[in-house]
Protein backbone atom coordinates (compact mmCIF):
# COMPACT_ATOMS: atom_id res chain seq x y z
CA UNK A 1 0.00 0.00 0.00
CA UNK A 2 2.77 2.45 0.99
CA UNK A 3 6.13 2.15 -0.64
CA UNK A 4 9.27 4.22 -0.13
CA UNK A 5 12.02 3.76 -2.69
CA UNK A 6 15.52 5.10 -2.05
CA UNK A 7 14.11 8.12 -0.25
CA UNK A 8 16.71 10.76 0.54
CA UNK A 9 15.90 13.89 2.56
CA UNK A 10 18.01 16.90 3.44
CA UNK A 11 17.21 19.81 5.71
CA UNK A 12 18.01 23.34 4.53
CA UNK A 13 19.62 21.83 1.42
CA UNK A 14 22.67 20.67 3.31
CA UNK A 15 21.90 18.50 6.33
CA UNK A 16 21.20 14.93 5.23
CA UNK A 17 18.63 13.11 7.34
CA UNK A 18 17.69 10.12 5.18
CA UNK A 19 20.19 8.58 2.76
CA UNK A 20 18.27 6.22 0.54
CA UNK A 21 15.61 4.49 2.61
CA UNK A 22 13.41 1.83 1.07
CA UNK A 23 10.50 0.52 3.07
CA UNK A 24 7.15 -1.07 2.46
CA UNK A 25 3.92 -1.15 4.41
CA UNK A 26 1.40 -3.66 3.08
CA UNK A 27 -2.30 -3.20 3.74
CA UNK A 28 -3.64 -3.88 7.26
CA UNK A 29 -0.20 -4.48 8.76
CA UNK A 30 1.64 -2.91 11.71
CA UNK A 31 5.20 -1.95 10.85
CA UNK A 32 7.58 -0.85 13.61
CA UNK A 33 10.35 1.63 12.88
CA UNK A 34 13.12 1.52 15.46
CA UNK A 35 16.23 3.55 15.91
CA UNK A 36 18.05 5.92 18.24
CA UNK A 37 17.59 9.67 18.45
CA UNK A 38 18.57 11.34 15.20
CA UNK A 39 18.33 8.16 13.16
CA UNK A 40 15.75 9.81 10.91
CA UNK A 41 12.52 8.20 12.12
CA UNK A 42 10.52 11.42 12.45
CA UNK A 43 11.96 12.70 9.16
CA UNK A 44 10.65 9.59 7.47
CA UNK A 45 7.15 10.25 8.83
CA UNK A 46 7.32 13.89 7.71
CA UNK A 47 8.35 12.78 4.23
CA UNK A 48 5.23 10.61 4.05
CA UNK A 49 2.79 13.16 5.50
CA UNK A 50 4.13 16.15 3.58
CA UNK A 51 5.33 18.12 6.61
CA UNK A 52 8.95 18.43 5.42
CA UNK A 53 8.61 21.96 3.96
CA UNK A 54 7.52 23.29 7.34
CA UNK A 55 10.90 22.19 8.70
CA UNK A 56 12.72 23.42 5.62
CA UNK A 57 13.42 19.88 4.55
CA UNK A 58 12.99 18.43 1.09
CA UNK A 59 12.94 15.11 -0.67
CA UNK A 60 16.08 15.05 -2.80
CA UNK A 61 15.94 11.50 -4.07
CA UNK A 62 13.67 8.52 -4.52
CA UNK A 63 9.91 8.56 -4.31
CA UNK A 64 6.97 7.65 -2.12
CA UNK A 65 3.99 5.76 -3.49
CA UNK A 66 0.66 5.33 -1.72
CA UNK A 67 -1.87 3.08 -3.43
CA UNK A 68 -0.07 3.77 -6.70
CA UNK A 69 -0.05 7.56 -6.30
CA UNK A 70 3.08 9.63 -5.77
CA UNK A 71 2.89 11.48 -2.47
CA UNK A 72 5.99 13.60 -2.65
CA UNK A 73 4.42 16.51 -4.55
CA UNK A 74 1.12 16.59 -2.67
CA UNK A 75 0.01 18.97 0.07
CA UNK A 76 -0.56 17.65 3.60
CA UNK A 77 -4.29 18.27 3.10
CA UNK A 78 -4.38 16.03 0.03
CA UNK A 79 -2.34 13.34 1.77
CA UNK A 80 -4.81 13.24 4.68
CA UNK A 81 -7.66 13.02 2.19
CA UNK A 82 -5.96 10.05 0.50
CA UNK A 83 -6.08 8.20 3.82
CA UNK A 84 -2.89 8.85 5.79
CA UNK A 85 -3.15 10.42 9.25
CA UNK A 86 -0.23 11.26 11.50
CA UNK A 87 0.04 11.50 15.28
CA UNK A 88 2.94 13.83 16.00
CA UNK A 89 5.56 13.16 18.64
CA UNK A 90 4.66 14.68 22.00
CA UNK A 91 0.89 14.41 21.38
CA UNK A 92 0.47 18.01 20.23
CA UNK A 93 -3.22 18.22 21.07
CA UNK A 94 -4.88 21.65 20.87
CA UNK A 95 -4.89 22.26 24.61
CA UNK A 96 -7.20 25.30 24.64
CA UNK A 97 -9.87 23.44 22.67
CA UNK A 98 -12.27 20.93 24.17
CA UNK A 99 -11.93 17.21 23.56
CA UNK A 100 -14.82 17.36 21.09
CA UNK A 101 -13.32 20.31 19.23
CA UNK A 102 -9.99 18.50 19.00
CA UNK A 103 -11.71 15.49 17.49
CA UNK A 104 -13.63 17.57 14.99
CA UNK A 105 -10.43 19.34 13.99
CA UNK A 106 -9.17 15.88 13.07
CA UNK A 107 -12.13 15.46 10.72
CA UNK A 108 -11.67 18.81 9.01
CA UNK A 109 -10.94 17.19 5.63
CA UNK A 110 -14.08 15.04 5.82
CA UNK A 111 -17.12 16.61 4.14
CA UNK A 112 -19.64 13.87 4.72
CA UNK A 113 -21.46 14.32 8.08
CA UNK A 114 -22.37 10.64 8.41
CA UNK A 115 -18.73 9.65 7.91
CA UNK A 116 -17.76 12.10 10.68
CA UNK A 117 -20.47 10.70 12.93
CA UNK A 118 -19.30 7.13 12.31
CA UNK A 119 -15.64 8.00 12.98
CA UNK A 120 -16.68 9.87 16.13
CA UNK A 121 -18.64 6.90 17.48
CA UNK A 122 -15.73 4.60 16.74
CA UNK A 123 -13.31 6.85 18.63
CA UNK A 124 -15.72 7.04 21.56
CA UNK A 125 -15.99 3.27 21.77
CA UNK A 126 -12.21 2.88 21.48
CA UNK A 127 -11.60 5.49 24.18
CA UNK A 128 -14.45 5.54 26.72
CA UNK A 129 -12.36 7.97 28.84
CA UNK A 130 -12.74 10.62 26.13
CA UNK A 131 -16.51 10.12 26.05
CA UNK A 132 -16.66 11.09 29.73
CA UNK A 133 -14.68 14.29 29.16
CA UNK A 134 -15.88 15.42 25.78
CA UNK A 135 -16.53 19.02 26.77
CA UNK A 136 -13.55 19.61 29.05
CA UNK A 137 -10.47 21.45 27.87
CA UNK A 138 -7.96 19.04 26.35
CA UNK A 139 -5.09 20.66 28.27
CA UNK A 140 -6.56 19.36 31.52
CA UNK A 141 -6.38 15.69 30.48
CA UNK A 142 -3.64 13.45 31.89
CA UNK A 143 -0.69 12.48 29.70
CA UNK A 144 -2.17 9.11 28.80
CA UNK A 145 -5.57 10.62 28.02
CA UNK A 146 -3.91 13.24 25.84
CA UNK A 147 -2.15 10.50 23.89
CA UNK A 148 -5.50 8.76 23.41
CA UNK A 149 -7.01 12.03 22.25
CA UNK A 150 -4.15 12.52 19.79
CA UNK A 151 -4.71 9.04 18.36
CA UNK A 152 -8.50 9.52 18.36
CA UNK A 153 -8.11 12.85 16.58
CA UNK A 154 -6.07 11.19 13.81
CA UNK A 155 -8.66 8.39 13.53
CA UNK A 156 -11.39 11.00 12.88
CA UNK A 157 -10.13 11.21 9.28
CA UNK A 158 -10.81 7.43 8.96
CA UNK A 159 -7.29 6.76 7.66
CA UNK A 160 -6.16 3.60 5.91
CA UNK A 161 -2.67 4.19 7.27
CA UNK A 162 -1.94 5.64 10.69
CA UNK A 163 1.50 7.12 11.41
CA UNK A 164 2.35 7.08 15.12
CA UNK A 165 5.40 8.96 16.37
CA UNK A 166 6.55 7.71 19.79
CA UNK A 167 3.11 7.20 21.36
CA UNK A 168 4.64 5.70 24.51
CA UNK A 169 6.88 8.70 25.21
CA UNK A 170 6.67 9.83 28.82
CA UNK A 171 3.86 7.47 29.79
CA UNK A 172 3.65 5.17 32.81
CA UNK A 173 4.25 1.45 32.06
CA UNK A 174 0.58 0.47 32.46
CA UNK A 175 -0.41 3.28 30.07
CA UNK A 176 2.22 2.11 27.54
CA UNK A 177 0.57 -1.30 27.70
CA UNK A 178 -2.86 0.24 27.07
CA UNK A 179 -1.59 2.21 24.10
CA UNK A 180 -0.09 -1.01 22.76
CA UNK A 181 -3.43 -2.77 23.03
CA UNK A 182 -5.20 0.15 21.38
CA UNK A 183 -2.81 -0.05 18.43
CA UNK A 184 -3.58 -3.76 18.12
CA UNK A 185 -7.31 -3.00 18.25
CA UNK A 186 -7.08 -0.26 15.60
CA UNK A 187 -5.13 -2.63 13.39
CA UNK A 188 -7.66 -5.43 13.93
CA UNK A 189 -10.29 -3.15 12.41
CA UNK A 190 -8.24 -2.97 9.22
CA UNK A 191 -6.05 0.13 9.58
CA UNK A 192 -2.36 -0.23 8.74
CA UNK A 193 0.03 1.37 11.25
CA UNK A 194 3.56 2.69 10.95
CA UNK A 195 4.79 2.82 14.52
CA UNK A 196 7.90 4.82 15.36
CA UNK A 197 9.16 3.86 18.80
CA UNK A 198 12.12 3.96 21.14
CA UNK A 199 10.39 1.31 23.20
CA UNK A 200 11.39 -1.60 20.96
CA UNK A 201 9.88 -4.24 23.21
CA UNK A 202 6.43 -2.67 23.02
CA UNK A 203 6.67 -1.88 19.32
CA UNK A 204 7.81 -5.35 18.28
CA UNK A 205 5.17 -7.02 20.45
CA UNK A 206 2.41 -5.42 18.37
CA UNK A 207 4.12 -5.13 14.97
CA UNK A 208 4.22 -7.72 12.20
CA UNK A 209 7.35 -6.36 10.67
CA UNK A 210 10.18 -4.13 11.85
CA UNK A 211 12.82 -1.86 10.37
CA UNK A 212 15.86 -0.51 12.21
CA UNK A 213 17.08 2.90 11.10
CA UNK A 214 20.60 4.11 11.85
CA UNK A 215 21.92 7.54 10.70
CA UNK A 216 19.45 7.77 7.85
CA UNK A 217 19.79 4.22 6.54
CA UNK A 218 17.90 0.97 7.07
CA UNK A 219 20.32 -1.39 8.76
CA UNK A 220 17.93 -4.21 9.51
CA UNK A 221 14.56 -5.29 8.21
CA UNK A 222 12.85 -8.45 9.37
CA UNK A 223 9.59 -9.86 10.74
CA UNK A 224 8.99 -8.52 14.26
CA UNK A 225 9.21 -11.95 15.87
CA UNK A 226 12.67 -12.46 14.39
CA UNK A 227 13.86 -8.99 15.43
CA UNK A 228 12.76 -9.72 18.99
CA UNK A 229 15.12 -12.69 19.03
CA UNK A 230 17.94 -10.93 17.21
CA UNK A 231 20.84 -10.71 19.63
CA UNK A 232 22.06 -7.25 18.61
CA UNK A 233 18.61 -5.69 18.78
CA UNK A 234 17.99 -7.25 22.17
CA UNK A 235 21.23 -5.86 23.48
CA UNK A 236 20.97 -2.47 21.90
CA UNK A 237 17.34 -1.54 22.22
CA UNK A 238 16.01 -3.64 25.05
CA UNK A 239 18.15 -2.08 27.72
CA UNK A 240 21.63 -3.12 28.77
CA UNK A 241 24.57 -1.55 30.51
CA UNK A 242 26.43 1.24 28.67
CA UNK A 243 29.55 -0.81 27.78
CA UNK A 244 27.42 -3.50 26.21
CA UNK A 245 25.39 -0.85 24.36
CA UNK A 246 28.54 0.39 22.68
CA UNK A 247 29.54 -3.15 21.79
CA UNK A 248 26.09 -3.82 20.32
CA UNK A 249 26.21 -0.56 18.39
CA UNK A 250 29.53 -1.64 16.91
CA UNK A 251 28.04 -4.94 15.80
CA UNK A 252 25.06 -3.13 14.27
CA UNK A 253 27.43 -0.91 12.32
CA UNK A 254 29.31 -3.93 11.00
CA UNK A 255 26.04 -5.41 9.98
CA UNK A 256 25.12 -2.17 8.23
CA UNK A 257 28.30 -2.43 6.17
CA UNK A 258 27.51 -6.01 5.30
CA UNK A 259 24.01 -4.98 4.14
CA UNK A 260 25.62 -2.28 2.00
CA UNK A 261 28.09 -4.73 0.52
CA UNK A 262 25.36 -7.14 -0.33
CA UNK A 263 23.46 -4.40 -2.10
CA UNK A 264 26.52 -3.73 -4.28
CA UNK A 265 26.88 -7.38 -5.11
CA UNK A 266 23.30 -7.90 -6.17
CA UNK B 1 -24.45 63.33 36.03
CA UNK B 2 -25.87 63.88 32.54
CA UNK B 3 -22.44 65.18 31.51
CA UNK B 4 -20.82 62.02 32.88
CA UNK B 5 -23.30 59.76 31.09
CA UNK B 6 -22.78 61.72 27.89
CA UNK B 7 -19.05 61.11 28.16
CA UNK B 8 -19.53 57.42 28.93
CA UNK B 9 -21.71 57.07 25.83
CA UNK B 10 -19.20 58.89 23.63
CA UNK B 11 -16.35 56.90 25.17
CA UNK B 12 -18.12 53.61 24.51
CA UNK B 13 -18.63 54.55 20.86
CA UNK B 14 -15.01 55.60 20.52
CA UNK B 15 -13.96 52.39 22.24
CA UNK B 16 -15.98 50.33 19.77
CA UNK B 17 -13.98 51.84 16.92
CA UNK B 18 -10.72 50.96 18.65
CA UNK B 19 -12.15 47.51 19.25
CA UNK B 20 -12.90 47.02 15.54
CA UNK B 21 -9.44 48.18 14.50
CA UNK B 22 -7.89 46.10 17.29
CA UNK B 23 -9.82 43.02 16.15
CA UNK B 24 -8.02 43.27 12.83
CA UNK B 25 -4.64 43.19 14.57
CA UNK B 26 -5.47 40.33 16.88
CA UNK B 27 -7.11 38.08 14.26
CA UNK B 28 -3.97 38.25 12.11
CA UNK B 29 -1.68 37.93 15.11
CA UNK B 30 -3.55 34.93 16.43
CA UNK B 31 -3.48 33.11 13.11
CA UNK B 32 0.10 33.84 12.13
CA UNK B 33 1.99 35.50 15.05
CA UNK B 34 2.53 38.54 12.87
CA UNK B 35 1.74 42.09 13.92
CA UNK B 36 0.42 43.64 10.75
CA UNK B 37 1.80 47.14 10.61
CA UNK B 38 -0.07 47.77 7.36
CA UNK B 39 -3.37 47.61 9.23
CA UNK B 40 -3.71 51.40 9.36
CA UNK B 41 -3.10 51.74 5.65
CA UNK B 42 -5.64 49.06 4.76
CA UNK B 43 -8.10 51.16 6.73
CA UNK B 44 -6.91 54.29 4.91
CA UNK B 45 -7.45 52.79 1.45
CA UNK B 46 -10.85 51.50 2.51
CA UNK B 47 -12.13 54.85 3.78
CA UNK B 48 -10.81 56.66 0.68
CA UNK B 49 -12.60 54.22 -1.60
CA UNK B 50 -15.85 54.66 0.33
CA UNK B 51 -15.49 58.47 0.31
CA UNK B 52 -14.76 58.53 -3.43
CA UNK B 53 -17.64 56.22 -4.22
CA UNK B 54 -20.08 58.48 -2.41
CA UNK B 55 -18.72 61.91 -3.37
CA UNK B 56 -17.38 61.38 -6.90
CA UNK B 57 -19.33 58.44 -8.26
CA UNK B 58 -22.52 59.32 -6.34
CA UNK B 59 -23.12 55.81 -5.10
CA UNK B 60 -25.39 55.42 -2.07
CA UNK B 61 -23.47 54.88 1.16
CA UNK B 62 -24.82 51.35 1.55
CA UNK B 63 -23.27 50.39 -1.81
CA UNK B 64 -20.05 52.32 -1.24
CA UNK B 65 -19.35 50.55 2.04
CA UNK B 66 -19.25 46.98 0.64
CA UNK B 67 -17.16 48.31 -2.25
CA UNK B 68 -14.59 49.71 0.17
CA UNK B 69 -14.59 46.48 2.16
CA UNK B 70 -14.13 44.49 -1.03
CA UNK B 71 -11.12 46.54 -2.11
CA UNK B 72 -9.31 46.08 1.20
CA UNK B 73 -10.20 42.39 1.35
CA UNK B 74 -8.70 41.95 -2.12
CA UNK B 75 -5.54 43.82 -1.07
CA UNK B 76 -5.27 41.60 2.00
CA UNK B 77 -5.77 38.42 -0.04
CA UNK B 78 -3.35 39.41 -2.80
CA UNK B 79 -0.71 40.32 -0.23
CA UNK B 80 -1.26 37.00 1.52
CA UNK B 81 -1.09 35.10 -1.76
CA UNK B 82 1.96 36.79 -3.26
CA UNK B 83 4.07 37.40 -0.19
CA UNK B 84 2.98 35.70 3.03
CA UNK B 85 2.42 32.29 1.48
CA UNK B 86 6.14 32.06 0.76
CA UNK B 87 6.94 33.04 4.32
CA UNK B 88 5.23 30.15 6.14
CA UNK B 89 7.63 28.78 8.74
CA UNK B 90 9.90 31.85 8.59
CA UNK B 91 10.50 33.98 11.70
CA UNK B 92 7.53 36.30 12.39
CA UNK B 93 9.92 39.25 12.53
CA UNK B 94 10.71 38.90 8.82
CA UNK B 95 7.04 39.04 7.94
CA UNK B 96 6.50 41.98 10.29
CA UNK B 97 9.12 43.99 8.39
CA UNK B 98 7.37 43.16 5.12
CA UNK B 99 4.08 44.52 6.49
CA UNK B 100 5.85 47.81 7.18
CA UNK B 101 6.84 47.83 3.52
CA UNK B 102 3.23 47.22 2.49
CA UNK B 103 2.19 50.09 4.77
CA UNK B 104 4.50 52.51 2.96
CA UNK B 105 3.39 51.31 -0.47
CA UNK B 106 -0.30 51.70 0.33
CA UNK B 107 0.11 55.18 1.81
CA UNK B 108 2.07 56.27 -1.24
CA UNK B 109 -0.57 54.86 -3.56
CA UNK B 110 -3.27 56.82 -1.70
CA UNK B 111 -1.28 60.06 -2.09
CA UNK B 112 -0.68 59.31 -5.78
CA UNK B 113 -4.32 58.48 -6.39
CA UNK B 114 -6.13 61.09 -4.30
CA UNK B 115 -3.47 63.70 -3.54
CA UNK B 116 -2.43 64.78 -0.07
CA UNK B 117 -5.29 67.21 0.50
CA UNK B 118 -7.96 66.64 3.10
CA UNK B 119 -11.17 65.35 1.56
CA UNK B 120 -14.62 65.07 3.12
CA UNK B 121 -15.56 61.67 4.46
CA UNK B 122 -18.61 59.70 3.42
CA UNK B 123 -21.33 60.25 6.01
CA UNK B 124 -24.70 58.53 5.75
CA UNK B 125 -26.26 60.84 8.36
CA UNK B 126 -25.49 64.29 9.75
CA UNK B 127 -23.46 64.65 12.92
CA UNK B 128 -26.31 66.29 14.73
CA UNK B 129 -28.86 63.55 14.02
CA UNK B 130 -29.93 61.32 16.86
CA UNK B 131 -32.23 61.66 19.83
CA UNK B 132 -32.15 62.60 23.49
CA UNK B 133 -32.77 60.34 26.46
CA UNK B 134 -33.08 62.32 29.70
CA UNK B 135 -30.77 65.10 28.51
CA UNK B 136 -28.16 62.67 27.16
CA UNK B 137 -27.78 63.10 23.40
CA UNK B 138 -27.47 59.76 21.59
CA UNK B 139 -25.95 60.56 18.20
CA UNK B 140 -26.87 58.34 15.24
CA UNK B 141 -23.29 57.64 14.26
CA UNK B 142 -22.35 56.62 17.81
CA UNK B 143 -25.44 54.42 18.11
CA UNK B 144 -24.63 52.75 14.80
CA UNK B 145 -21.01 52.25 15.83
CA UNK B 146 -22.01 50.56 19.07
CA UNK B 147 -24.70 48.48 17.36
CA UNK B 148 -22.47 47.33 14.52
CA UNK B 149 -19.71 46.37 16.94
CA UNK B 150 -22.05 44.32 19.12
CA UNK B 151 -23.54 42.48 16.14
CA UNK B 152 -20.10 41.83 14.71
CA UNK B 153 -18.79 40.46 18.00
CA UNK B 154 -21.71 38.05 18.23
CA UNK B 155 -21.16 36.97 14.62
CA UNK B 156 -17.44 36.44 15.23
CA UNK B 157 -18.14 34.45 18.36
CA UNK B 158 -20.49 32.20 16.43
CA UNK B 159 -17.99 31.88 13.60
CA UNK B 160 -15.08 30.87 15.84
CA UNK B 161 -17.12 28.50 18.00
CA UNK B 162 -19.48 26.80 15.62
CA UNK B 163 -18.10 26.66 12.10
CA UNK B 164 -15.51 24.45 10.39
CA UNK B 165 -13.41 27.40 9.33
CA UNK B 166 -13.55 28.94 12.77
CA UNK B 167 -12.33 25.69 14.26
CA UNK B 168 -9.58 25.46 11.63
CA UNK B 169 -8.45 28.99 12.54
CA UNK B 170 -8.38 28.32 16.26
CA UNK B 171 -6.53 25.02 15.77
CA UNK B 172 -3.94 26.67 13.50
CA UNK B 173 -3.44 29.46 16.02
CA UNK B 174 -2.67 26.92 18.74
CA UNK B 175 -0.34 24.62 16.81
CA UNK B 176 0.43 25.15 13.17
CA UNK B 177 2.20 21.83 12.61
CA UNK B 178 -0.51 19.80 14.33
CA UNK B 179 -3.11 21.65 12.24
CA UNK B 180 -1.21 20.79 9.06
CA UNK B 181 -1.02 17.17 10.17
CA UNK B 182 -4.83 17.19 10.49
CA UNK B 183 -5.02 18.28 6.86
CA UNK B 184 -6.05 21.83 7.72
CA UNK B 185 -4.97 24.02 4.82
CA UNK B 186 -2.95 26.60 6.73
CA UNK B 187 -2.67 28.84 3.66
CA UNK B 188 -6.45 29.12 3.52
CA UNK B 189 -6.51 29.97 7.20
CA UNK B 190 -4.05 32.82 6.64
CA UNK B 191 -6.04 34.08 3.68
CA UNK B 192 -9.22 34.00 5.73
CA UNK B 193 -7.55 35.82 8.60
CA UNK B 194 -6.24 38.57 6.31
CA UNK B 195 -9.53 38.99 4.52
CA UNK B 196 -11.50 39.10 7.76
CA UNK B 197 -9.06 41.48 9.44
CA UNK B 198 -8.99 43.83 6.46
CA UNK B 199 -12.78 44.01 6.35
CA UNK B 200 -13.28 44.57 10.08
CA UNK B 201 -10.58 47.23 10.28
CA UNK B 202 -12.00 49.08 7.30
CA UNK B 203 -15.41 49.02 8.91
CA UNK B 204 -13.84 50.62 11.98
CA UNK B 205 -12.16 53.22 9.79
CA UNK B 206 -15.35 54.16 7.95
CA UNK B 207 -17.23 54.56 11.24
CA UNK B 208 -14.39 56.70 12.57
CA UNK B 209 -14.45 58.84 9.44
CA UNK B 210 -18.18 59.53 9.94
CA UNK B 211 -17.28 61.10 13.27
CA UNK B 212 -14.27 63.05 12.10
CA UNK B 213 -16.03 64.28 8.90
CA UNK B 214 -12.82 64.55 6.89
CA UNK B 215 -9.92 62.28 5.97
CA UNK B 216 -6.35 62.82 4.80
CA UNK B 217 -3.40 60.49 4.11
CA UNK B 218 -2.55 60.45 7.83
CA UNK B 219 -5.91 59.00 8.73
CA UNK B 220 -4.36 55.52 9.00
CA UNK B 221 -2.56 56.60 12.17
CA UNK B 222 -5.83 55.84 13.94
CA UNK B 223 -4.59 52.25 13.99
CA UNK B 224 -1.75 53.33 16.27
CA UNK B 225 -4.26 54.60 18.80
CA UNK B 226 -5.85 51.16 18.79
CA UNK B 227 -2.47 49.69 19.64
CA UNK B 228 -2.61 50.17 23.42
CA UNK B 229 -6.06 48.60 23.23
CA UNK B 230 -4.82 45.30 21.83
CA UNK B 231 -1.69 45.29 23.98
CA UNK B 232 -3.68 45.66 27.17
CA UNK B 233 -6.31 43.21 26.02
CA UNK B 234 -3.63 40.67 25.17
CA UNK B 235 -2.24 40.53 21.64
CA UNK B 236 -3.48 37.06 20.88
CA UNK B 237 -6.95 37.42 22.34
CA UNK B 238 -9.92 38.35 20.18
CA UNK B 239 -12.18 39.20 23.12
CA UNK B 240 -9.25 41.04 24.68
CA UNK B 241 -9.16 43.39 21.68
CA UNK B 242 -12.81 44.32 22.27
CA UNK B 243 -12.50 44.85 26.03
CA UNK B 244 -9.21 46.70 25.58
CA UNK B 245 -10.74 48.93 22.93
CA UNK B 246 -13.67 49.92 25.13
CA UNK B 247 -11.40 50.58 28.13
CA UNK B 248 -9.13 52.82 26.05
CA UNK B 249 -12.09 54.66 24.49
CA UNK B 250 -13.70 55.33 27.87
CA UNK B 251 -10.44 56.47 29.47
CA UNK B 252 -9.55 58.76 26.64
CA UNK B 253 -12.98 60.44 26.39
CA UNK B 254 -13.50 60.72 30.14
CA UNK B 255 -10.09 62.35 30.61
CA UNK B 256 -10.79 64.73 27.74
CA UNK B 257 -14.11 65.64 29.34
CA UNK B 258 -12.72 66.40 32.77
CA UNK B 259 -9.21 67.64 32.10
CA UNK B 260 -10.36 71.28 32.00
CA UNK B 261 -11.25 70.95 35.69
CA UNK B 262 -7.75 69.78 36.59
CA UNK B 263 -5.00 72.23 37.63
CA UNK B 264 -3.73 74.26 34.66
CA UNK B 265 -0.28 72.72 34.97
CA UNK B 266 -1.65 69.43 33.55
CA UNK B 267 -2.48 71.17 30.28
CA UNK B 268 -4.95 69.98 27.68
CA UNK B 269 -3.30 66.92 26.15
CA UNK B 270 -3.77 64.51 29.05
CA UNK B 271 -6.40 62.44 27.22
CA UNK B 272 -3.81 61.44 24.64
CA UNK B 273 -1.55 60.10 27.36
CA UNK B 274 -4.01 58.28 29.61
CA UNK B 275 -4.56 55.30 27.26
CA UNK B 276 -0.85 54.57 27.42
CA UNK B 277 -0.77 55.09 31.19
CA UNK B 278 -3.58 52.58 31.58
CA UNK B 279 -1.76 50.20 29.28
CA UNK B 280 1.46 50.45 31.30
CA UNK B 281 -0.45 49.99 34.57
CA UNK B 282 -2.23 46.88 33.36
CA UNK B 283 0.93 45.42 31.87
CA UNK B 284 2.70 45.89 35.21
CA UNK B 285 0.07 43.70 36.85
CA UNK B 286 -0.55 41.32 33.95
CA UNK B 287 2.45 41.28 31.58
CA UNK B 288 0.55 39.35 28.91
CA UNK B 289 -2.48 41.63 28.89
CA UNK B 290 -5.91 41.05 30.39
CA UNK B 291 -6.78 38.01 28.28
CA UNK B 292 -3.44 37.17 26.68
CA UNK B 293 -1.80 33.78 26.99
CA UNK B 294 1.74 33.35 28.20
CA UNK B 295 3.09 31.82 25.03
CA UNK B 296 2.89 35.10 23.12
CA UNK B 297 5.93 35.83 20.97
CA UNK B 298 7.80 38.94 22.05
CA UNK B 299 8.80 41.19 19.19
Task: Report pLDDT digits (tens) over A25-46.
Answer: 999 999 999 988 888 999 999 9
Write out the residues of chain A at the interface with chain B, using a CB-CB cutoff of 8 A.
49-51, 53-56, 75-77, 79-81, 85-88, 92-97, 101, 104-106, 108-109, 153-154, 157
Secondary element (H or E) of residue B20 = helix B2-32
Asked if B259 contacts B208 with a C-beta cutoff of 8 angstroms, the reply is no
Residues β-bridged to residue A211: A33, A221
Tens of pLDDT, residue by residue over B177-223, are 999 999 999 889 999 999 999 999 999 999 999 888 889 898 888 88
What average pLDDT does chain A have?
89
Residue A9: helix, strand or coil by DSSP? Answer: strand
- C-alpha A11/C-alpha B170 separation (Å) is 29
Helix, strand, coil % over all residues of chain B, rounded to 5: 75, 5, 20
DSSP B37-57: TTHHHHHHHHHHHHHHHHHTS
Who among A81, A85, A96 is closest to B174 (CB)?
A: A96
- Res B226 pLDDT > 70: yes
- Cα B232 to Cα B255: distance, rounded to the nearest angstrom: 18
Say yes or no: B180 contacts chain A, CB-CB below 8 A: yes
Q: Are B222 and B210 in contact (CB under 8 A)?
A: no
B272/A contact by beta carbon, under 8 A: no
Which residues of chain A lie closer than 8 angstroms to B180, CB-CB?
50-51, 54, 76
Which has the closest alpha carbon to B204: B19, B9, B54?
B19
pLDDT band at B60 (very low <50, low <70, confident <90, very high): very high
Res A21: pLDDT? 94
| Cα–Cα dist B122/B214, whole Å | 8
What letter does residue B121 receive in the DSSP assignment?
A: P
Please state the rounded mean pLDDT for residues B58-62: 92
CB A171 within 8 A of CB A111: no
Which of A45, A79, A89, A94 is most worth mutating to test chain B (most B CB atoms within 10 A of its CB)? A94
What's the rounded Cα separation, in Å, for the pair B55 and B67? 14
Question: What is the ipTM metric for this complex?
Answer: 0.85
A28 close to A187: Cβ distance less than 8 angstroms? yes
Confidence of residue A256 (pLDDT cuts 50, 70, 90): low
- The half-sphere exposure of B286 on its side-chain side, counting CA atoms within 13 A, is 17
Amino acid sequence: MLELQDVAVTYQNVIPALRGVSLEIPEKVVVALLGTNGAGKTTLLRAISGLLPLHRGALVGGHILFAGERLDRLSPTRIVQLGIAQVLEGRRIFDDLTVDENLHAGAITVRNPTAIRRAYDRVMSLFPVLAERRSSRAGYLSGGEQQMLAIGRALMASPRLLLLDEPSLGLAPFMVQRIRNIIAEINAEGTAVLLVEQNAQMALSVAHYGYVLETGRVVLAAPAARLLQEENIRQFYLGLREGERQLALGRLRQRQERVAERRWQS
Amino acid sequence: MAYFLQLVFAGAAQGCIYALIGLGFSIIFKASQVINFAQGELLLVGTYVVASAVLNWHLPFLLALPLGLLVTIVIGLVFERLVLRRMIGRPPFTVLMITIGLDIILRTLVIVGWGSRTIPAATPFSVTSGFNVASVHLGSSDLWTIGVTIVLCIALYYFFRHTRYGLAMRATALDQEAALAMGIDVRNVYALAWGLAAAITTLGGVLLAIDSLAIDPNFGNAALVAFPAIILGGLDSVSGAVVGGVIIGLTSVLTAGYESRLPAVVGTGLHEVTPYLIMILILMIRPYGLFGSRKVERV
